[in-house]
Structure 1
Amino acid sequence: MTQVHSREAAVLVPVVDRGDAATVILTTRTRSLRKHSGQIAFPGGAIDPQDASPEAAALREALEEITLDPAYVEPIGRLPRYLTTTGFCITPVLAIVSPGFTLRPNPGEVADVFEVPLGFLMDAANHRQESRMFDGLTRHYYTMPYGERFIWGVTAGILRTLYERFYA
């Protein structure tokens, strides 16, 4: 039996403080990436040895991927770790982002960066449970279609956890 070694990763779950119209910043990964290409994702990636913490890694990755200046970001906690089928153990770092930032996608990693209303994402009516056969196993996952964008997999799973923790 082979043992799957997981890589430690961190993502920023950036909630923009726009009062009653709070939003969540998401990205669309470029099609050229090896893993999860073309998918909607939070800014984030592998925790490097020089990162002091998952928070440091998430902030570094958000700066690298979408130029989100850490001066606008206040990490407020962690959501439960999320193990992916591709071998990553992800620590989601929940953060409040103050308005006034400027975002520019890094074209090597991010095709698009956009905001989705928090109210939409935290409404259970917008959460669909689906399943698919993958490597001989039935995998269950959430989807949250938003306009022409299809939020699913790890990203939808982390958003669902946020919903269950704070809104359910």
Structure 2
Amino acid sequence: MICDDLLREQIRKRLAGFTRLAAAPGEQRAAAVAVAVTQTGHGADLPGMPMFDAWQCDPALILTRRAGSLRHHAGQWALPGGRVDDAESAQAAALRELDEEVGLRLAPPDILGLLDDYVTRSGFVITPVVVWAGAARGIAPNPGEVASLHRISVSEFEREDSPRLDPGELPGQPVLRMPVGNSWIAAPTAAVLYQFREVCLAGRATRVAHFDQPAFAWR
């Protein structure tokens, strides 16, 4: 798979043909995350994953480790994102947070589409906004929000041992994890990554709202 115009149009068309499920209005706070498709670049410093010596054309996603000083989900794996401000769309919020967290400034034409809303245990409704980031050279973590910045090849999310499902508190609601390197990423981020893989790469209309989060991600 190559990070090129063909992949961009494939993702755009599959999202256009995907019937997205929005969460019902409630007490939850609106949030948005950017699922930013980029080039592999210099890789990610994850155990068991190789480092790249030069810019690669393999597709990757931009992920972060949240700063330890943050009120919500400190130190956890995340996609760039945050609260949707008053009178702001989820798309606008995702682009704003991408700029604020990693210094990547994109425009509305770079938006490829939306995935399903995901309601978190901590009281947020997350809208995933898929965007095309190209090479995304020069990105850097905002130290006030991001402890580390990673480009993770999409091939990591297509592994045979992915996803991993553990028993949850309720029947039919297993806890979802996505392995990366020798570690793993938990839902809610893992749920978004899994649906991106299924819808945008495999062309399968897979739902993820029923997957639960591990207890540490509820905070």
Same fold (TM over 0.5): yes
Cα pair 2:104 2:136 within 8 Å, conserved: no
Q: CA–CA distance in 2 between the matches of 1:73 and 1:40?
A: 27
- List aligned pairs for 1:49-88, cutoff 5 A: 49-51=86-88, 53-70=89-106, 74-88=110-124
Task: Decide whether aligned partners of structure 1 residues 67 and 20 sit closer, same or farther in structure 2, where only a CA change above 3 A counts.
Answer: closer
Q: Are 1:130 and 2:166 an aligned pair?
A: yes
In the alignment, does 2:197 pair up with 1:160?
no
CA-CA distance at 1:140 after TM superposition: 2.5
Q: Measure how far apart 1:141 and its partner are.
A: 2.1
The alignment's C-alpha RMSD in Å is 2.3
Distance 1:141 1:121 in 2: 16
Aligned partners of 2:76, 2:32: CA distance in 1, in Å? 17
State the 1:157 CA deviation. Answer: 0.6
Q: Distance in 2 between matches of 1:10 and 1:72?
A: 15
- Per-residue CA distance 1:59-81 (angstroms, 9 max, x = gap): 00011111112159811000011
Q: Is structure 2 residue 143 aligned with structure 1 residue 107?
A: yes
- Identity over aligned residues, as a percent? 37
Relative to total residues, which structure has the larger strand share, 1 or 2? 1
Q: Distance in 2 between matches of 1:147 and 1:81?
A: 27
Query: CA separation in 2, counterparts of 1:125 and 1:23?
Result: 19
Give the match's secondary structure for 1:60. Answer: helix
List alignment gaps of at least 5 residues for structure 1. Answer: none
Write the distance in 2 (CA, Å) between the matches of 1:101 and 1:26. Answer: 15
Normalised by the length of structure 2, the TM-score is 0.66
Q: Which amino acid aligns with 1:79?
A: L
Task: Calculate the TM-score normalised by the size of structure 1.
Answer: 0.85
The total of aligned residue pairs comes to: 161
Provide the C-alpha distance between the structure 2 equivalents of 1:37 and 1:148, rounded to a whole number of angstroms. 21
Q: Which of 7, 17, 34 is equivalent to 1:12?
A: 34
Shift of 1:99: 0.8
